[in-house]
Amino acid sequence: MRRIMRTVRLACVVVVTGVLIAGCGLLGDTQNGRGPLVDMDMQGAAERADAMFYATVGAIKPEVEWVHDSTTSGSCDVTRYWTVMTEISEQRRGNFLGVVERFWKTSEYRIEMVNPSKEMPEIIATSPDGFGISVLIGYKGQAFFEATTPCVEKSKVAGPKRAANGRTYDGEIPTPNVRSGFWSAETPVPGSTSSP
């Protein structure tokens, strides 16, 4: 019980930190610090955030099962959240994060922070056009992705258009409940020296 409460507290700290960073503009709330991105509204920015996530999970092989989580919006920005339902074992977390980090670097994202925590490793990056994206592995090896848009023209924001590749849940999304022969394996990848 103590471990669960500690994990919940750590998750809350990470979420609050992410909100503060996004709110302060450290993840790119303006284009070169000069106001909203031109020719893009909040809906267009949300779709761009979705595309960043879809490209990222598309680079993860073998495939992981994921679901859409929530969407939040500020006065001129949008944050999308996704939850991975495939359990990422402690032995494979470094490999998982390595795949994500390499893809982001190949996509010319700037890596802002790598937290090598054994319990809750995380990577935060920024795309060339000022979108923030992060991945965090939390309780029971559940990965969480988040993408925050820069400041754009205000508009209504619809939910994601693409269906998740995992099942739909009514209410709260559970802890990871999908086992993968690769990502959930409790042995290191043979010949791998990857660490979170």
**What is the per-residue pLDDT across 80-126, written as a single tens digit (0 to 9) for each?**
999 999 999 999 999 999 999 999 999 999 999 999 999 999 999 99
CA dist 135 → 51, 101, 143 (Å) = 15, 9, 7
Residues 6+ apart with CB under 8 A from 173: 67, 69, 83, 85
How sure is the predictor about 190, in pLDDT bands with cuts at 50, 70 and 90?
confident
The predicted pLDDT at position 191 comes to 76
pLDDT tens per residue across span 5-64? 334 434 443 443 444 344 434 444 444 444 566 689 999 999 999 999 999 999 999 999
The predicted pLDDT at position 37 comes to 67
Instruction: Taking each helix axis as running N to C, give the angle between helix 42-58 and helix 93-106, from 0 to 180 degrees, rounded to the nearest 10.
Output: 120
The predicted pLDDT at position 35 comes to 55
Is the pLDDT at 192 greater than 70? The verdict is no
Residues 6+ apart with CB under 8 A from 24: none
How sure is the predictor about 193, in pLDDT bands with cuts at 50, 70 and 90?
low
Domain ranges of the chain: 2-148
pTM for the model stands at: 0.81
Instruction: Identify the sign of the CA torsion 70, 24, 53, 99.
Output: negative
If one compares 39 and 187, the residue with the highest pLDDT of the two is 187
Q: Are 77 and 170 in contact (CB under 8 A)?
A: no
Q: Does domain 2-148 have CATH number 3.30.2030?
A: yes
The predicted pLDDT at position 36 comes to 62
